């Protein structure tokens, strides 16, 4: 329980730092780069290494590559529907999470 509480706090702090940096940077397209910052990875990989060892972390990082490719597809699709189709942000960003799941798990299944 303590481990997940630490993960929650460290993750929240690191993600918030990147989010605030994204708030104050202009132009918007540049600030957007921080939306795909490796914040969760930076917060959790040191904790994983400390708790479960390097071998466990290495396997996580291998899969992270598929998640990152899925993130790229997600952001391209979200940008298209917001800019070209003028759809509401919450609807587009939430429903497109299904695309992230499909691409990341699809790539993971193919790699097996």
Partner 1 sequence: MKIKLEMNAVKRSKWYEFLIRFVFGGLVAATAGIIAKQFGPAIGGLFLAFPAIFPATATLIESHEKRKKREAGFDGTRRGRQAAGIDAAGAALGAIGLIGFAAVLRLLIVSTSPWLSLFLATLVWAVLSFAGWNLWRGKRKRATITDA
Write out the binding residues for partner 1, residues 77-96 only, by CB under 8 A: 78-84, 86-90, 92-94
What CA–CA distances, in Å, run from 20 to 37, 80, 85, 88, 96? Answer: 12, 25, 28, 23, 24
Contact between 98 and partner 1 by CB under 8 A: the answer reads: no
86 versus 110: smaller Cβ distance to partner 1:
86
Distance CA 108, CA 36 (A): 20
Site for partner 1 (CB under 8 A): which residue of 24, 98, 102, 110?
A: 24
104 neighbors 70 (Cβ within 8 angstroms):
yes
Write out the binding residues for partner 1, residues 51-80 only, by CB under 8 A: 52, 54, 56-72, 74-76, 78-80
47 versus 110: smaller Cβ distance to partner 1:
47
75 neighbors 35 (Cβ within 8 angstroms):
yes
Contact between 110 and partner 1 by CB under 8 A: the answer reads: no
Contact between 12 and partner 1 by CB under 8 A: the answer reads: yes
């Amino acid at each position: 329980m303590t481990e997940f509480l630490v993960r929650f706090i460290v993750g929240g702090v690191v993600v918030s730092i990147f989010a605030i940096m994204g708030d104050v940077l202009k132009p918007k397209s540049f600030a957007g780069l921080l939306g795909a910052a490796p914040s969760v990875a930076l917060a959790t990989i040191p904790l994983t290494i400390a708790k479960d060892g390097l071998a466990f972390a290495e396997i996580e990082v291998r899969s992270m590559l598929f998640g990152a490719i899925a993130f790229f597809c997600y952001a391209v699709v979200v940008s298209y529907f917001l800019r070209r189709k003028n759809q509401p942000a919450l609807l587009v960003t939430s429903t497109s999470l299904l695309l992230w799941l499909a691409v990341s798990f699809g790539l993971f299944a193919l790699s097996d």
